[in-house]
Amino acid sequence: MRKQLVGLGILLLFVLGLLWLQSGPRGPVPPADPIVRWNAEHAPMEDNAADLYSAAFASLVGEEDRAWSENRCRATDPVPPEAAAWVEQNQKALDLVREASEQPHCWFTLVRDERGDVSLSHIEQVRTLAKLVRWRALLAVQQRDPTTLADLVITLDRVGRHVDSGPPELIHALVGMTIRAMLCDVATAPMLWPELSSEDRAAYLARVTPTFDSPPPLTEALAGEKELVVWTHVARSSAALRMVLAPSSRVAGELERYFRPLLELAAKPVEQQCDPADPLVVQVRALEVEEPPRGNIPRVTASILLPSASRSLVLRARLIAQQRGTRTVLELFAYQDRTGALPDSLETLAGDFTIDPFSGRPFVYRRTDDGFTLYSVGVDRQDDGGRHDPKFGKDNKGRDFVFWPIPECEDRSATSQP
């Protein structure tokens, strides 16, 4: 009798455990594989740049050596001979990238492998091509060629936009932001060239200004990421596992619980996203540090994804700060060319581009004996006197991000890209 009671007790605990695993929020499961749907929606796309990018991949010779970047400190430093040779070897790839960037659309057909994962090899290849364009832009800086530099800045911007317009998922949004940051790294260099006339500087500014438009909001990418994770769970899990331990609707429900405030926050102005006191920011931060029950597979899955998803908002804010700061530098020189003197404050420029997204106030601007200083206060929202941090956007304290003068790097292994 005792053994029977123990057996019934164990069975009851098992049933209660299953009921507990089944309990919790439920969410809608995609009726079909989103990858199949996304491909079908874009199949009729005309003027698709994907084939031109693929041809550029195929023609690429050699690869970038990380040491080339680590051994340079600023965009104005000499380009290593090896990097210059790499650029020269890949003139055909550069021509194809430029031709591809001029197409209005880009969509690479996506496929799943046998494990249910999505193949995204084209993303890293596009990023390699963008690095090639950036090295060519750095050579234009070294050669003091503003016309070619402006062409290459525009090409980088268009490549970034092509990546942005790809599948709505975070990896595309993040790589698109990385490529856009590359152009900020080189765009202000012509302001150091005394031989450049005010007319030439004005023409340069007019050409590159459109490249400083903010990247698209992350709402679509976050929603697509959530849908993709749910379907990947469907594709990779056995029917028994989905039915008993981690039903797809439970995974979708937990993701909805985590993502709903994040999606609401992503739709708000970037200054609100950077305000630690904002209620949505507080809610997202609380979910990030929430400790999920170990046996609750859906909640563990959602909690692993959330920090990297919310981190994307910070990276976007960092890019917007770089874009705005870069444009502000160029506009300050344009103002000086028009009036003969720098303005007393950024309010004189009368543009939203002077607002630091991390503080919601104008960038820190000070006139100096030999020009001016301009910087963002960074994530800690504190003015730390312009102590430059090339990795700003992380939770580093006591540092700012300096746009002008072009700063020396304390850590040569660091880059200014997100």
Q: Strand, helix or coil at 401?
A: strand
> Do residues 101 and 49 make contact, with C-beta atoms less than 8 angstroms apart?
yes
Q: Strand, helix or coil at 362?
A: strand
What are the residues whose beta carbons fall under 8 Å from the beta carbon of 304, sequence distance 6 or more?
none
User: What are the b/e assignments for 360-390, b being 16+ CB within 10 Å?
Assistant: eebbbbeeeeeebbbbbbbbbeeebebebbb
Opening angle at CA 246, ends 244 and 250, nearest 5:
115
At 403, which helix (H) or strand (E)?
strand 401-404
- Each residue's pLDDT expressed in tens, for the chain with a length of 418 residues: 555 555 555 555 544 454 445 556 777 888 888 999 999 988 788 899 999 999 999 999 998 988 888 777 666 788 999 999 999 999 999 999 999 999 999 999 888 877 777 878 889 999 999 999 999 999 999 999 999 999 999 999 999 999 998 889 899 999 999 999 999 989 999 999 999 999 999 999 999 999 999 999 999 999 999 998 888 877 766 655 555 556 778 788 888 888 899 999 999 999 999 999 999 999 999 988 888 877 677 778 788 888 888 889 999 999 999 999 999 999 999 999 999 999 999 999 988 999 999 999 999 999 998 899 999 998 888 888 888 776 665 555 667 889 999 876 554 334 444 4
> Do residues 33 and 112 make contact, with C-beta atoms less than 8 angstroms apart?
yes
Nearest to 325 by CA among 206, 198, 183: 183
What distances in angstroms separate CA 361 from CA 88, 271, 378, one per listed residue?
44, 9, 12
> Do residues 159 and 130 make contact, with C-beta atoms less than 8 angstroms apart?
yes
